[in-house]
Structure 1
Amino acid sequence: MDLPPLSFHPSLEEQWDEEEDPEEIETVLKVFPPAYHKYLDVFFKVKAEKLPPHRACDHHIEFEENVEKGFIRPSSSSTGAPVLFVKKKDGGLRLCVDYCKLNAVTRKNRFPVSPMNKLLTVFKGSTIFSKIDLRGAYSLLTIKEGDGHLTAFRTKYGSYEYLVMPFGLTNAPASFLNIVNDIFADFLDV
């Protein structure tokens, strides 16, 4: 299949050509089969990782804040999950770590999670309710000493690893629910 050549506004092409690193071009030429060389502009790291300038700055500040809070630390792990950004309702971006490969090899915690219809029947006839705010609760659960390298993720600012439970790990919800049930064991059937 022969696709039409990609074209950009001339000023954009000039800007992008200035940013291309000769070593990166050489690496890409080695990695990608010759049939794809005419589409090289799609594969360059510099172009693929660009965010609007204020976004990149915002995320650097977010990493620094999380280091200061003790949620993450710089990592020297030989592996690291990729990150992606998901748009939030307020227009900002949320950093998400893609733990698919780690989750695929993780032995699953089969802690029973009650179905919603069963939970709702417990409330039948109740007149007084209470609620608990668990918004920052994951950040209260620490990663087992020595396992932090498993949560490592790569950013353009370097590699980091979590010291607290991150979102996205396959066993995070079950582990969290197990702890909450232990804490409120006396109230589960009240």
Structure 2
Amino acid sequence: MIAPKKGEKGKMCIDFRRLNNVTIRDAYPMPRVEDLIDALSGARDFSKMDAESGYHQIEMDPRDIEKTAFACREGLFEFTRMPFGLVNVPAIFQRIMNTILRPFLYKFGGATSIFHPPPPKKKKELRSKSQK
């Protein structure tokens, strides 16, 4: 099915509910908003990356490719990269992002914030201002 997307061409959507219902869930923890706020407090420089197509950068395990098969007018197709809609893709993506950018990363949904701790002098200034 093609889902309408505001201001753009439609987006192809596959209904993976039956597959998701029999999938063993990946329990990798997703970040909590409260943790994000704590982690970003005191940061002075921020960068943001939009991972809109990030899932499609991750190769599917060859044993799982056939599970993503779908049929349309043009024939039968399978995903070789992770599609949207599979229940474990967010956890897999989170794990990969954390591994690559762990020292300065906080990822929440499709938005990624990279933060840099302030230099020691700036930390002292911030602390003294917050204690007033």
The TM-score bracket by the shorter chain reads 0.7 to 0.9
Post-superposition CA distance 1:41-80 (Å, at most 9, x none): xxxxxxxxxxxxxxxxxxxxxxxxxxxxxxxxxxxxxxxx
Alignment match of 1:130 (pick from 47, 54, 77):
47
Runs of 4+ in structure 1 deviating by more than 3 angstroms, as ranges, are none
Aligned to 1:158: 75
Q: Aligned-pair distance for 1:184?
A: 1.4
TM-score by length of 1: 0.52
Aligned to 1:184: 101
Counterpart AA for 1:174: A
Computed over aligned residues only, the root mean square deviation of the Cα atoms, in angstroms, reads: 1.8
Aligned to 2:28: 111
Q: Secondary structure at the match of 2:49?
A: coil
Asked if 1:145 is matched to 2:66, the reply is no
Asked if 1:90 is matched to 2:10, the reply is no
Count of residue pairs brought into register by the alignment = 107
Residue ranges of structure 1 left out of the alignment (5+ in a row): 1-83
Percent identity between the two aligned chains: 34
Post-superposition CA distance 1:78-131 (Å, at most 9, x none): xxxxxx221110263221000000000000001101111220121112211122
Q: How does 1:1-190 map to 2 (within 5 A)?
A: 84-90=1-7, 92-188=9-105
Q: Aligned-pair distance for 1:136?
A: 2.8
Counterpart AA for 1:88: K
Aligned to 1:67: none
Residue ranges of structure 2 left out of the alignment (5+ in a row): 107-116, 118-132
Q: Secondary structure at the match of 1:92?
A: strand
In terms of fraction of residues, the more strand-rich structure is: 2
